[in-house]
Structure 1
Amino acid sequence: MRKHLIAAAAATSLLLSACQRQAENLVEVTGHLFVFNYRVASATYLLTLKKTGPIPDGSVIIAEFENPQGGDPLVTNQKIYPIDDKIALQSEKLHCVRKDRPYSVSVRLVDKDGKVLQELKTEFRSDLDQTVLPSKPLVVGALYDKNPEVFKPDGSVDFSNTDKCPA
């Protein structure tokens, strides 16, 4: 009799655990890439997400991007609005992005009280080295005038990249 009770209890707990609802995904990654902007000599991470469930008002997305230069991660906080179906997160300017090297990003969706609703991780990989970008913007001002630090009065140009990056 005791063996039957133990077996029945084990079977019941197994069935109940199988019925538990999986944690609902509220967002999913739809794209991730490096944005190299030659005009202003900058590189950034760009991560796009799609809402897949209802997100409580006042929620924020916190993304921690690996810093290609080393050191602390680059953190971006962005408020989520009910009207948003797609969410784009862009990092601050990057330095030292290397071709074919994986860079990690961690994303947390947090409600207004600080409770984590969802966490996800993904990787970025560039098919270009950041050394293709000049160190100085090619243009300046609202009219996109040639930058005199790049386009010299004597007709020479300086497209060099002077970033000091770890090996």
Structure 2
Amino acid sequence: MKRVLLSILLPLALSACQRESGPDPLKLTGRMFVFNYRLAYATYIVTLDKVQPLPDGSVVKVEFENPAGGDPLLLERKVFANQTRVVLESPDITCVKKDRPYSVAIAVIGPDGARLQSLETKVTSNADQDILPAKPLIVGPGYDKNPEVFKDGKPPAHFETAKCPI
């Protein structure tokens, strides 16, 4: 009888000692393209909210699909203990096309190098990049008018727009 009871209770006791993996530590809360008209550039922005604590030293690694083609754009951000939101902004991008979904892959990596979470999403723009001017409208820390765009301080009759180099 003891052996039967032990053979039933031992597996239950051992399974109770195993760590259950809880919910994912980060939750996707936003994704979009940002077109900065005054500075003539576009970027991806993805936001994640922390819903579970992460070990100190954790990082978020992101691969943004490059709208111009080629290798993905890479970003790595450290996640701090008191941080409740993680904002991931890509390097400047070109060739964004309206209504085309672009892939974003996110990996949450613990301090020991173990993958704690993986997220994949798509970001779709509601505008083409050609809404941006070809050159920044302002320059310098004082937001001065760009002399390449504003000749003698006057705006051109028509602003040249950004073109995709490919």
User: Which category of TM-score, normalised to the shorter sequence, fits these structures?
Assistant: 0.7 to 0.9
Check conservation: 2:147, 2:153, Cα contact below 8 A. no
Label 1:42 to 1:87 Cα distance change in 2 as closer, same or farther (>3 A).
same
The amino acid that maps onto 1:26 is: P
**Cα shift at 1:122:** 0.6
Alignment of 1:8-157 (within 5 A): 21=20, 24-153=23-152, 155=154, 157=156
Distance (whole Å) between structure 1 residues aligned to residue 56 and residue 66 of structure 2: 30
Deviations 1:22-76 (CA, angstroms, capped at 9, x unpaired) = 6531101000011110110010000000011110000000010000000000011
**Which 4+ stretches in 1 moved above 3 angstroms?**
20-23
SS of 1:82's equivalent in the other structure is coil
| TM-score, normalised by the number of residues in structure 2 | 0.83
The amino acid that maps onto 1:84 is: Q
Distance (whole Å) between structure 1 residues aligned to residue 21 and residue 140 of structure 2: 52
**1:159 partnered with 2:153:** no
Check conservation: 2:33, 2:43, Cα contact below 8 A. yes
What 5-or-longer segments of structure 2 have no aligned partner? Answer: 1-14
| TM-score, normalised by the number of residues in structure 1 | 0.82
The amino acid that maps onto 1:81 is: F
Label 1:118 to 1:134 Cα distance change in 2 as closer, same or farther (>3 A).
same
Identity %: 47
The amino acid that maps onto 2:68 is: Q
Q: How many residue pairs are counted as aligned between the two chains?
A: 149
Root-mean-square deviation (CA), in Å?
Answer: 2.0
SS of 1:131's equivalent in the other structure is helix
Give the equivalent residue in structure 2 for 1:12.
Answer: none
What 5-or-longer segments of structure 1 have no aligned partner? Answer: 1-15
